[in-house]
Structure 1
Amino acid sequence: MRTLATRRSRRFRLTAGAVTLAAAGALAVGVPAAQAGTGNGNGQGNGNGNSRPGPALDLQILAINDLHGALEPPEGSNGQVTHRHEDGTTEQLAAGGVEYLATGLRDARKGNQRSVTVAAGDLVGATPLLSGLFHDEPTIEALNKLGMDVAGVGNHEFDEGWEELQRLQDGGCHPVDGCYADDRTFEGSDFPYLAANVVREDSGEPILAPYSVQNIKGVKVGFIGVTLEGTANIVTQDGIEGLEFLDEAETINRYTAELESQGVNAIVALIHEGGYPADPAYNADCDAGADGISGPIVEIAGAIDSNVDALITGHTHQPYVCTIPDPDGNDRLVTSAASNGRLFTELNMRYDPRTKDIVRTSVEGTNRVVDRDQKPARDLTRLIDYWNELAAPVANAPIGYISEDIRGRGAGTPEFPLGDLIADAQLAHAIELEGTADLALMNPGGVRADLVYAASGDEGDGVVTYGEGFTVQPFSNTVNLLSITGEQLLQVLREQVSGPNAATPKILQPSEGLTYTLDLSRSGADRIVADTVLLNGEPIEAERVYRVAVNSFLAGGGDGFPTLAEGTDPRVGNDDMRVLADYLLAHSSADAPLAAPAADRITVLP
């Protein structure tokens, strides 16, 4: 049984060849059985003898996705999962934090002789202060301690360019910032990153290994890693110059054939693309009803070679354990563990030594909550404490200047100055990304504090520090762009005061240029006076498509805004706190501090 102490530092060649590692179990404390998700043992033989298995060996795969450097327990909705009770009622459970994730994974490995831990992308990028300040070195070190064996890349692995991704794997000081301590050198990942469908335009060769064959006490399993084909449309172009992102299914099929030619028949795909379950509860039965899951993964799964035994997915930040038919019409397990380390997926299956393949009908999956009531892993606690000490000086760095208090929700009005400021910052970021955008909307609950003029430390009156900004926006959401029609935009505004928000309206904070009247004497959706809704002085056109910036929470339909989840052509931008800091730096100085917005974009009639 391998423990953390026996892990050795490994470096991985940037070739198209396979990377072979050994994997086994580890130790720790567990997740309550009451929080287990849906187990699915569906599926049929895949033509490699699975329909008539011989004496089989137990195999466990533990999976995460979209960690986004959430080392400390995430706050707000980013640190909760929805649990559905047998009577149909739901409750929100606090979840996440790598100290607890380590404990949960180590406990899950107990008693399992053959266990491997994998990930489906976006482990870094769009990360909180603690990791992002240090170019995500803290997250890589945490993943090493978690016992990560292999990870596919996601779009956010390219946030700082593919050469920086290569450094995170190989180690070494940052090329600009250097090492963060004189007595400590970043050693890189103890696991390989896989990028099968990310190739150089000039040669067609993958920039990193396309697959890894894990030898798990005599059981050989091939893992193929891909990111979404549309990655090039949602990352900074400078960082991917000269790269091409290929079709997910076609790439997986190519390397499936290559693995089989090497005698590796047990194959699992790590895909940074996902779907949307009909029920958002992590323990919902995803296969119940005709609309169990939708989204890009459905078409991708239907095109992936039937000899691939399971699909571990990500990107949509959704929890699900579903079955989707393979090209032969047989059910195949498709999983996702939400985001921010709130869940991990446990897959259990049988491996037939005679066919050297996974018995498809034995594959079961369960999403497990990363419960904060369990004992935190001390080695991860020490790691977090170390990086927090280094981060302290940065937290006090100035990011802008204000001439007065800029009030948040404490303003006591439906529209408040800080909400407008954040929306303006997000619109500016959207325009920077795409050259043009129409508007931005910010949820009021995402503004957690005011920006206060009076100094709270030694920085001086009117100085906004990074730590103060982070207190305003602590959730590490990303700024997402999406397209909606004018009619959908009007519906979004109506959802502020209707449906689940009828009793307690949630008034979205608008960017400059969007104006309308809110008539509180009316009821329901009629409180939005439709003929007063203007964008830059012009009426909203029902059929016109508008490009809108919102945070990732709203983009998923959060806070009772399901219409935003229907947006098309999505693009993921930077962390929302980074966006706010960049805006303040660009629009204020000690000699020209920023005044509070007038908060006059919404006319409120009593």
Structure 2
Amino acid sequence: MNHTALRRFAAGAALSALTVAGLTGVAHAVPGTPPGGHPGGGPIDVQLLALNDFHGNLEAPSGSSGRIQTGPDAGVNRVDAGGAEYLATQLQQLGAQQKQANTITVAAGDLIGASPLLSAAFHDEPTIESLGLAGLDYASVGNHEFDEGPEELLRIQNGGCHPVDGCLDGTPFAGADFQYLSANAFVTETGAPLLEPYAIHEVQGEKIGFIGMTLEGTPSIVSAEGTAGLTFADEVATANRYAADLQAQGVQAIVVLLHEGGNQTGANAWDVNGCNGLTGPIVDIANGMSDAIDVVISGHTHQAYNCEIDKKLVTSASSFGRLVTDIDLRLNRATGDVIQAKAKNVIVTRDVAKDAAQTELISRYRAALGPVASRVVGSTTSAITRTADESGESPLGNLIADSQLAATDDEERAVAAFMNPGGVRADLPAGSVTYEQAFTVQPFANSLVTLDLTGAQLYCMLEQQYTVAKILQPSGSVSYSVSASGTTAPVSDPCAGTRIVDGSLLIGGVPVVEGQTYRVTVNNFLAGGGDGFTVLQGGTNPVTGPIDLDALTAYLGANSPVSPPALDRITTVS
């Protein structure tokens, strides 16, 4: 098996050849539903089961990614959670508590992408099959649904073998059993939505509308190739537009599946059913949405919360299938309106029976993966984590930057490397490290790009870290000081900040001179301005190098056993 080929994606035909969805949405009626109208009788109880940010975690995730905190002490108050075998069972059991015909299972994006090797090696087809088996009905797209571009997302929805790698497990891929919804991602050339913007689901004659969206800022956090030919619209304006369309069709119960979110703050931020000091984009978005919208199921931040914002129920279920949000809606049979909405985030514990269909699916793909996954690529003296200190440095982020410099310092003459923290997806364990474990850390198959930056551009890039609130992980050749009292530059002028102490930036122990040119390595995501680092788009003489994962595994192999790098590259001063 060519494992490099498994990780790489080649673009297909032009976007103008895409088959795009219309504006009318899709409709689904539960079998046995009375046709039309609002029949008499008491209210209708509907159950929504929601998840978000699954990221292909078919097998139970390990470490902190596989736990949920249940009390104030993260070291003591925690429970193991997640895994498709347990998730499917929990969904079935939660649905059984209601009348099954009245249960709708939904998701708020990032079901695929940044996935463990078991799913990613097969272009996330295993995850799509798994969620279909688990009973998923509707899902919004998230930014990671665009990792391999719009044509690949349409293939995931509609089926067919991968255009480059074919059907790697030897069986046809039928596509998703559920409907992806994408109200605010439009094909720029035609103005049509890439996928259906909404769905109408009928329960006992009453209609419920589901609008699906990703965050408007998706192009800034996905590689340029992933969103080429697409335009992403404002979340509030899009939701309100389609809510009005749904109401015009007699739909009064409206749910938004939105891949954007927030964070709880304060001492009780661990409470998965709390709404403690909620901050983040979801607050303004929910406040700006039409009163016609009853529920907002959110995601993206990998956090859990259960809130009421502007009389709307707003929820999020953490990530990796560790929680399910159990939402109870009560509909007025005469008007179709939601008259009550309440929710509870339920931990997907591992003390239930494994779902047999999920076990079979995981075993089948594990066998197809073969020996690639278990190949040992190096070792560590102790666990190397992505946990950052107060300066923003993490041991694993530093290690990855070191590996990228090592991969490009010879042929490309790079003198420094910087890694985006969001691209570090898991910790490295103590002891032997397998290819699969390394892949879980670096699953994006980003190419390394070495380019020329002036000293002034380097200073500007470091100032821009504080504007976009993402601290780049520097290679060991880099050091600099940050002023705690400095000012953060506005988005409109990222070079205007005063956070980086003048003269403190050193490369190879030598002060960086603003007028000189330096060869610097980043990944192609950052080189394209990803995460808001627009200054990197001004780099010159770019040369594309190896895949980031290949650089990491080569570094581990050449330097094992590897110890956690010291966190001494960024120093904070008063």
Give the equivalent residue in structure 1 for 2:551: 583
Match among 323, 333, 336 for residue 343 of structure 1: 323
Give the equivalent residue in structure 2 for 1:153: 141
2:445 touches 2:548 (CA, 8 Å); kept in 1? no
Report the Cα offset of residue 201 of structure 1. 1.1
2:521 and 2:304 map into 1 onto residues whose CA distance is 25
Give the equivalent residue in structure 2 for 1:505: none
2:251 corresponds to which letter in structure 1? Answer: V
Give the equivalent residue in structure 1 for 2:14: none
2:227 and 2:521 map into 1 onto residues whose CA distance is 25
2:65 and 2:230 map into 1 onto residues whose CA distance is 32
Match among 135, 138, 142 for residue 123 of structure 2: 135
Give the equivalent residue in structure 2 for 1:514: 478
1:199 touches 1:206 (CA, 8 Å); kept in 2? yes
Give the equivalent residue in structure 2 for 1:177: 165
2:158 corresponds to which letter in structure 1? Answer: D
1:230 and 1:334 map into 2 onto residues whose CA distance is 20
- The 3 A distance-change label for structure 1 pair 603 and 254 is closer
- The 3 A distance-change label for structure 1 pair 581 and 115 is same
For normalisation by structure 2, the TM-score amounts to 0.70
Report the Cα offset of residue 333 of structure 1. 1.0
1:128 corresponds to which letter in structure 2? Answer: P
Identify unmatched segments of 5+ residues in structure 1.
Answer: 1-11, 26-52, 326-330, 452-466, 494-507, 518-529, 541-546, 551-567, 572-577
2:445 and 2:163 map into 1 onto residues whose CA distance is 27
Report the Cα offset of residue 272 of structure 1. 0.4
1:345 and 1:116 map into 2 onto residues whose CA distance is 12
Give the secondary-structure state (helix, strand or coil) at the position aligned to 2:151.
helix
Matches within 5 A, 1:303-318: 303-318=288-303
- The 3 A distance-change label for structure 1 pair 424 and 24 is farther
1:105 corresponds to which letter in structure 2? Answer: L
1:128 touches 1:476 (CA, 8 Å); kept in 2? no
Match among 223, 237, 245 for residue 236 of structure 1: 223
2:347 corresponds to which letter in structure 1? Answer: V
Instruction: Tell me, yes or no, if structure 1 residue 94 matches structure 2 residue 80.
Output: yes
**Which deviates more from structure 2 when the two are superposed, residues 471-480 or residues 350-359?**
471-480
Percent of aligned positions that are identical: 42
For normalisation by structure 1, the TM-score amounts to 0.67
2:141 touches 2:182 (CA, 8 Å); kept in 1? yes
Report the Cα offset of residue 408 of structure 1. 3.8
Report the Cα offset of residue 353 of structure 1. 1.5
Give the secondary-structure state (helix, strand or coil) at the position aligned to 1:229.
coil
The C-alpha deviation readout for 1:378-420, integer Å capped at 9, x for no partner, is 111111111100012432679x7xxxx7644289xx9999875
Give the equivalent residue in structure 1 for 2:367: 389
Instruction: Tell me, yes or no, if structure 1 residue 334 matches structure 2 residue 314.
Output: yes
1:418 and 1:438 map into 2 onto residues whose CA distance is 12
- The 3 A distance-change label for structure 1 pair 186 and 478 is closer
- The 3 A distance-change label for structure 1 pair 595 and 181 is closer
Report the Cα offset of residue 488 of structure 1. 7.8
2:382 touches 2:563 (CA, 8 Å); kept in 1? no
- The 3 A distance-change label for structure 1 pair 356 and 407 is closer
Give the equivalent residue in structure 2 for 1:446: 427
Matches within 5 A, 1:186-585: 186-278=173-265, 279-286=268-275, 292-325=277-310, 331-359=311-339, 362-395=340-373, 407-409=380-382, 420-425=398-403, 438=418, 446-450=427-431, 468-472=434-438, 474=440, 511-515=475-479, 535-536=506-507, 537=509, 569=532, 580-584=548-552
- The 3 A distance-change label for structure 1 pair 116 and 284 is closer
Give the equivalent residue in structure 2 for 1:16: 23
- The 3 A distance-change label for structure 1 pair 89 and 444 is closer
1:100 corresponds to which letter in structure 2? Answer: Y
The C-alpha deviation readout for 1:194-246, integer Å capped at 9, x for no partner, is 11000011221101000000112323100000100000111121232111000
The C-alpha deviation readout for 1:150-169, integer Å capped at 9, x for no partner, is 00000000001111111111
Report the Cα offset of residue 112 of structure 1. 1.6
2:27 corresponds to which letter in structure 1? Answer: T
Give the secondary-structure state (helix, strand or coil) at the position aligned to 2:217.
helix
Matches within 5 A, 1:67-78: 67-78=54-65
1:178 and 1:420 map into 2 onto residues whose CA distance is 36
1:385 corresponds to which letter in structure 2? Answer: S
Give the equivalent residue in structure 1 for 2:46: 59
1:154 corresponds to which letter in structure 2? Answer: G
1:236 and 1:204 map into 2 onto residues whose CA distance is 21
Give the equivalent residue in structure 1 for 2:93: 107
Give the secondary-structure state (helix, strand or coil) at the position aligned to 1:363.
strand
The C-alpha deviation readout for 1:488-527, integer Å capped at 9, x for no partner, is 89xx99xxxxxxxxxxxxxx9962223499xxxxxxxxxx
Report the Cα offset of residue 421 of structure 1. 3.8
**Which deviates more from structure 2 when the two are superposed, residues 438-447 or residues 312-321?**
438-447
Identify unmatched segments of 5+ residues in structure 2.
Answer: 1-18, 33-39, 447-459, 482-500, 513-519, 524-530, 535-545, 570-574
2:241 and 2:464 map into 1 onto residues whose CA distance is 43
Report the Cα offset of residue 598 of structure 1. 10
- The 3 A distance-change label for structure 1 pair 468 and 117 is same
1:311 touches 1:333 (CA, 8 Å); kept in 2? yes
- The 3 A distance-change label for structure 1 pair 280 and 477 is farther
- The 3 A distance-change label for structure 1 pair 512 and 84 is same
1:250 corresponds to which letter in structure 2? Answer: A
- The 3 A distance-change label for structure 1 pair 198 and 488 is closer
The C-alpha deviation readout for 1:119-165, integer Å capped at 9, x for no partner, is 00000000001000000000000011110000000000000111111
1:105 and 1:440 map into 2 onto residues whose CA distance is 35
Give the secondary-structure state (helix, strand or coil) at the position aligned to 2:77.
strand
Number of residue equivalences = 468
1:450 touches 1:472 (CA, 8 Å); kept in 2? no
Give the secondary-structure state (helix, strand or coil) at the position aligned to 1:293.
coil
2:211 and 2:65 map into 1 onto residues whose CA distance is 29
**Which deviates more from structure 2 when the two are superposed, residues 215-224 or residues 244-253?**
215-224
1:153 touches 1:272 (CA, 8 Å); kept in 2? yes
Report the Cα offset of residue 533 of structure 1. 7.6
2:58 and 2:373 map into 1 onto residues whose CA distance is 17
Give the secondary-structure state (helix, strand or coil) at the position aligned to 1:253.
helix
1:310 corresponds to which letter in structure 2? Answer: V
2:142 and 2:329 map into 1 onto residues whose CA distance is 26
1:516 and 1:13 map into 2 onto residues whose CA distance is 49
1:440 touches 1:510 (CA, 8 Å); kept in 2? no
1:354 and 1:148 map into 2 onto residues whose CA distance is 29
1:247 corresponds to which letter in structure 2? Answer: D
Report the Cα offset of residue 16 of structure 1. 2.3
2:82 touches 2:350 (CA, 8 Å); kept in 1? yes
2:228 and 2:213 map into 1 onto residues whose CA distance is 18
2:105 corresponds to which letter in structure 1? Answer: T
Give the equivalent residue in structure 2 for 1:118: 106
- The 3 A distance-change label for structure 1 pair 600 and 57 is closer
2:417 touches 2:475 (CA, 8 Å); kept in 1? no
Give the secondary-structure state (helix, strand or coil) at the position aligned to 1:166.
helix
2:406 touches 2:555 (CA, 8 Å); kept in 1? no
Give the secondary-structure state (helix, strand or coil) at the position aligned to 1:144.
helix
Give the secondary-structure state (helix, strand or coil) at the position aligned to 2:178.
coil
2:306 touches 2:344 (CA, 8 Å); kept in 1? yes
1:63 touches 1:346 (CA, 8 Å); kept in 2? yes
Q: CA RMSD in A?
A: 4.6
Report the Cα offset of residue 55 of structure 1. 3.0
- The 3 A distance-change label for structure 1 pair 249 and 440 is closer
